[in-house]
Amino acid sequence: MTRSPRSPSRAPRGRSIRCHTLSVTADAGVGDARFAALRATAARYGDLVNVRRVAGTLHEALPTGPLPGGAAIYGGGYRCSLGFTVHRGTTPYFLTAGHCGQAVSTWYAGAHRSAVLGHTVAYTYPGRDYALVEYAGPAYLWPSTAGGGRAVTGAADPYVGEHVTSRGSTSGVHSGTVTGLDATVDYGNGEVVSGLIETDVCSEPGDSGGPLYSGTTALGLTSGGDGDCAYGGATYFQPVTAALRAYGVRIG
């Protein structure tokens, strides 16, 4: 998990900026009478207020299908990664890291936070590290997908020596090997997580919650690690089967 940059934007030198003006856009939901009244009010201010009408209805640019595992998700000044899309009955959710769910209640699909993606409904951290987020709209359906759009159709526990792949919103797609099971990691400040999958896959801040998988089988969610993808290091993953049992959801 990493804080999103909040650098102030600056105007390019040599370009003039028109200040203290207001632009108003009316869509098809604004009737003729209301639009006429709006224009009449704006006319009192001359060039300081510009009014225009556009065809269609303005709406948030929500994705029209399930986001792939590893996609960036934003909320509360943080960026994490989506793990796996799951469902309980006909209700779609996604899994991410518990420390992300602890920090963020409302998630957005873009850095500008104009499209609500979902709301955290449960999380477990520390001890374990998984969270459940309910999608904000019915357009988010399964199956879950990971790197390259490959469908993830089931879940399992990994074994030592298994070749695995992870995907994160910072580092992208990386492969490696499971080097240990049932690992315990102390992240400091009393935040101890146990039962983790240990790997030699690299990761970086912002990858938290992203998927670990083998072929079409879901294995884990990125919890934390050391090093980076320039110099290597170890990454620890929360077994996804524990999250599925805890929340009564399933993949596929």
Cβ count within 10 A of residue 36:
10
Instruction: Output phi, psi for 73, to 5 deg.
Output: -130, 145
| Spatial distance between the Cα atoms of 216 and 156, rounded to a whole number of angstroms | 10
Cβ count within 10 A of residue 38:
16
Q: What residues pair up with 81 in beta bridges, in sequence order?
A: 72
- Is 99 catalytic? The answer is yes
| Spatial distance between the Cα atoms of 5 and 179, rounded to a whole number of angstroms | 34
Q: Which of 99, 169, 171, 223 is catalytic?
A: 99
| Spatial distance between the Cα atoms of 162 and 168, rounded to a whole number of angstroms | 20
Cβ count within 10 A of residue 167:
25
| Spatial distance between the Cα atoms of 75 and 191, rounded to a whole number of angstroms | 21
Q: Which of 81, 144, 166, 208 is catalytic?
A: 208
Structure tokens at 233: 């290091």
- Is 129 catalytic? The answer is yes
- Is 208 catalytic? The answer is yes
Q: Which residues are CB-contacts of 44 (< 8 A; sequence separation ≥ 6)?
A: none
Residues across the chain: 252
Q: Which of 87, 129, 144, 200 is catalytic?
A: 129
Catalytic positions, written as ranges:
99, 129, 208
